[in-house]
């Protein structure tokens, strides 16, 4: 958002795509909110967001997945900084633990299907449909 166009943001689908302007100002009966009123609302009613929680996984994800789409002038922001070595190791350990838990749950689900006499391959209805007469 720029000072010249308050309430209008530029959106991109990817970092190399053409930007599209989107007007976020409220429309009442086809009339846009006045620029002066939009500036006043942005100045008086918007609060700064609190800092993000220092979760190692979130820091690693922001750096790896979000930072490539952030404009160059904002990439130096501490939000998108690379995780420290310790944070990176913590994130990998948490991801590995999650993978192991999901694998264990999949094995348990498969065992339940076998125990109930169902074949996990057929994804049809659990109870066959009755034909109407």
Give the pLDDT confidence of 24-62 residue by residue, as tens digits.
Answer: 776 666 677 777 887 788 788 888 877 766 788 888 888
Q: Tell me: do 63 and 29 sit in the same domain.
A: no
Which domain, by its residues, includes 64? 52-116
What pLDDT, on a 0 to 100 scale, did the predictor assign at position 103? Answer: 96
Give the pLDDT confidence of 70-110 residue by residue, as tens digits.
Answer: 898 888 888 888 888 999 899 999 999 999 999 999 999 99
What pLDDT, on a 0 to 100 scale, did the predictor assign at position 124? Answer: 57
Candidates 19, 18, 24; CA nearest to 5 is 24
Phi (first) and psi of residue 26, to 5 degrees: -70, 135
Q: Tell me: do 90 and 56 sit in the same domain.
A: yes
Q: What is the CA radius of gyration of the chain?
A: 25
Number of domains in the chain: 2
Asked if the model's pLDDT at residue 123 lies above 80, the reply is no
Q: Tell me: do 59 and 29 sit in the same domain.
A: no
Are 83 and 91 spatial neighbours (Cβ–Cβ below 8 Å)? yes
Are 33 and 7 spatial neighbours (Cβ–Cβ below 8 Å)? yes
In a domain, 133, yes or no: no
């Amino acid at each position: 958002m720029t000072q010249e166009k308050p309430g209008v943001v530029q959106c991109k689908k990817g970092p190399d795509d053409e930007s599209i302007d989107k007007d976020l100002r409220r429309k009442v009966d086809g009339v846009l909110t006045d620029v002066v009123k939009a500036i006043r609302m942005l100045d008086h009613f918007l609060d700064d967001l609190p800092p993000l929680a220092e979760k190692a996984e979130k820091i690693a994800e922001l750096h790896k997945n979000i930072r490539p789409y952030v404009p160059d002038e904002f990439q130096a922001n501490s939000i998108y900084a690379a995780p420290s070595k310790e944070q990176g190791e913590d994130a990998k350990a948490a991801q590995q633990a999650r993978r192991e838990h999901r694998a264990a749950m999949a094995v348990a689900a498969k065992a339940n299907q076998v125990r109930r006499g169902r074949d996990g391959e057929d994804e049809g209805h659990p109870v066959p449909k009755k034909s109407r007469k």
